[in-house]
Chains A and B, each alone.
Chain A
Amino acid sequence: MKIPEVQDKPRDVREDLLDVRGLSVAVRAGRSWRTLVDGVDLAIGGGEAVGLVGESGSGKSMTARALLGLTPPGARVTGDIAFDSDQVTTMNRRALRELRARRVAMVFQDPRAHINPVRSVGDFLTEAMIANLGVAAAEAHARAVRLLADVGIPDGERRLRQYPHELSGGLLQRVMIASVLAVEPDLVLADEPTTALDVTTQSEVMAILDELRRERGMAMLLITHDLALAAATCDRISVMYAGRIVETQPSTTLTATPRHPYTSGLMLSRPSIDTVADRLPVIPGRPVAAFESGEGCAFEPRCGHAKPHCRDLRPPVQDVEGARVACVRAGELTLRGDVDV
């Protein structure tokens, strides 16, 4: 099945760097399998930033891990992941290591947990350079200092000698970003890079990440539950619900004219600075995981626009004026987007 190109792609991108089709991930739960990611299609061009937005448990982190072959042991991964036309799902250990070492790098959510607490910052930054790129220790050290300066940490020499517990969360996340820049990958997977940080440092860290990746021409997959953040940073956004991508649109049109009721609901439930509201509008019900959803549309039980036939069949992905939407009523509905934009 050939998926039609999304119209609003940047012109200079001829071939997609990453092309994911029908990706599903399931893990064993006793005797049965639990689907966490269900038929995800995702494409990222060279230098492009794509946002993957969804609630906790919607499968976005698992999707990102599958791209690196980092799914938990025993997980069942099906579908196609083509990175620069190499199949990730069938890669052997060596190829997979090569992919992780030079081409795709990940910024994790909680730097405090994701950086080894008993090794120095210098060890963390130079480790991959020395082990993977064969850089000499002294050269790696000098590069690490320059990288720290790039991410806005001026006293690099001192920081390299320090240990993670001596740095704030914001600084640590910059260290993590620097470690990713060190290998100059083609694609950065940013898994909620600012969620574990103070609100005040969030925007700083995000700005640094985005600026540096643009300078270096790296593509980015930004995983977040913050639709506004994704809209501000990314060229395109995919919205995920219950392990499936329900809508993909360029950021500007997504915020103005969401096509899926879930996307619209997400935007309406954000507090606005201009209006005083006693109660924020919410999407009724609770989010479900992929394995909990039934035959039909996973969002149907919570959807204000649901019709009886939504329950029968999984809605196919259709093109609606440049948007790719998995909703049978996408064509007929006019949904409210972000009032502020």
Chain B
Amino acid sequence: MRFLLRRLAGLAVVLVVASFLVYGLLYLVPGGPMAFLLGNRSGTPEQIAAIREQYRLDDPFLVRYLAWLGDAVQGDFGSSLVYRQDVSALLTARGTTTALLVGYATAVIVVVGVAAGTVAGLRPGRADAVISTLSSASLAVPTFVIGVLLVIVFALGLGWFPVFGPGEGFLGRLHHLTLPAITLSLGSAAFLARITRASVREELGREHVETARSRGLAERHVIRRHVLRNASIPVVTVTGLTVAGLLAGSVVVENVFALDGLGSLFVRAILQRDFAVVQAVVLVLVTAFVLVNLVVDLCCKALDPRLSR
């Protein structure tokens, strides 16, 4: 419990620092915020005044930051310059898509990666060779190539999956997200399979496994209670890092599949200098990243008593 509280306090510190950096970036831009916000447009004095008002550019920096932070904590990230909409409303719509995509991809990564890695670790020989080759290949091919290939084969060729569009209802959305999720997860699943294989191999050779065998325990029991149980610790850690990485990786996939997610919103916001959106997306991503890490730490603590203090 104290561990959890300490971690939550740490999380708050990370978020404050991140938010400060995110907010401060606006003022480090060459030419100052005004030039950045206006871009190539030349605004009328009224428009400029409106922007100054909206971004409180006349207040001192810290005051502005605190005001912005106060609003952000309450879920108000201001309104988008481009979309003329509340940023939080924009984020909710896009965030759901990205969350579904990342969640879907995570499920694929864990199921495929851990299963393949375990099989490869436990059965040296042909199964191991096939899985290792496949995982090397998956690791070597870039995400966008995989995405395009999948679209050509499964969407255009076989017609099993739609090419774009969000889909209707939960199942419809999952159907639409299948190719993107596979694209997003393939490399990570291959990576996780390798980690799992190495971890299982290592545990198989451990002395305590020899002890378990010497006690006449059934091989199935030894594998489950000693080999896989212990091998799961590094696997969980790597899974967490991978999932956190997916948040960033989703940018590419969302663009390939023309999905309206946080990633594509983010890229467009940067290009269009929609600063309120950029700040909000970065903050959301950082929060998600830190939360995933917290969950991983909690899992590892539950799995490995040596980490408890």
Instruction: Give the contact stretch, choosing among A26-34, A100-108, A197-205.
Output: A100-108
Chain B nearest CB, measured from A320 CB (Å):
36
Chain B contact residues (Cβ within 8 angstroms of A): what range?
20 to 34
Q: How far is the CA of A68 from the CA of B211 in the complex (A)?
A: 11
- CA gap between A120 and B213 in the complex, in Å: 18
Contact A70 B215, beta carbon cutoff 8 Å? no
Most A-side CB within 10 Å, residue of B211, B212, B226, B230: B211
Contact B210 A118 (CB under 8 A): no
Q: A115-B208, A116-B212 given as contacts; is B217 within 8 A of A128 (CB)?
A: yes
Q: How far, in Å, is A293 (CB) from chain B's closest CB?
A: 28
Question: Would you call B207 and A114 a contact (CB within 8 A)?
Answer: yes
Nearest residue in B to A162 (C-beta to C-beta)?
B305
Rounded to whole angstroms, the CA-CA distance of A152 and B207 in the bound complex is 25
**A76-114 contact mask (Cβ, 8 Å, vs B): 1 or 0:** 000000000000000001001111111001101010011
Residue of A nearest to B207 (CB): A113
Contact of A118 among B207, B211, B219, B229 (CB under 8 A): B229
Partner of B216, one of A114, A132, A179: A132
Contact code string B201-213 (vs A, CB < 8 Å = 1, else 0): 0000011101111
Among A68, A96, A102, max chain B CB count under 10 A is at: A68
Q: Is A127 an interface residue (CB 8 A)?
A: yes
| Distance to closest chain B CB from A187 (angstroms) | 12
* Shortest distance between the CB of A63 and any CB in chain B (Å): 14
Verify A116–B216 contact, CB threshold 8 A.
no
| CB <8 Å contact, A99 and B216 | yes
- How near does chain A come to B97, taking the closest CB pair, in angstroms? 39
With CB as the reference atom, state the residue of chain A lying closest to B221: A131
In the complex, which residues 102-159 of chain A have their Cβ closer than 8 Å to any Cβ of chain B?
102, 105-106, 108, 110, 113-120, 127-128, 131-132
B306 closest partner in A (C-beta):
A165
B218 touches A97 (CB 8 A): yes
Give Cα A296–Cα B173 distance, bound, in whole angstroms: 78
Contacts of A120 in B (CB 8 A): 305
The answer to whether the Cβ of A291 comes within 8 Å of any Cβ in the partner chain is no
| Least distance between B70 CB and chain A CB atoms (Å) | 45
A132: which B residues are within 8 A, CB to CB?
A: 215-217
- Residues of chain A within 8 A (CB-CB) of B221 are 131
A68 to B213, CA, bound (A): 10
Enumerate chain B residues within 8 angstroms of A101, measured Cβ to Cβ.
Answer: 215-217
Chain A CB within 10 Å — which of B216, B303, B304 has the most?
A: B216
The answer to the question of B214 belonging to the interface, with a C-beta cut-off of 8 Å to chain A, is: yes
Chain B residues proximal to chain A, CB less than 8 Å: 206-208, 210-219, 221, 225-226, 229-230, 233, 303-306
24 contacting pairs across A/B (C-beta < 8 A): A70-B213, A93-B219, A97-B217, A100-B213, A100-B214, A105-B214, A105-B215, A106-B211, A108-B214, A113-B207, A113-B208, A114-B208, A114-B211, A116-B211, A117-B306, A118-B303, A118-B305, A127-B215, A128-B215, A131-B218, A163-B305, A165-B305, A179-B215, A183-B215
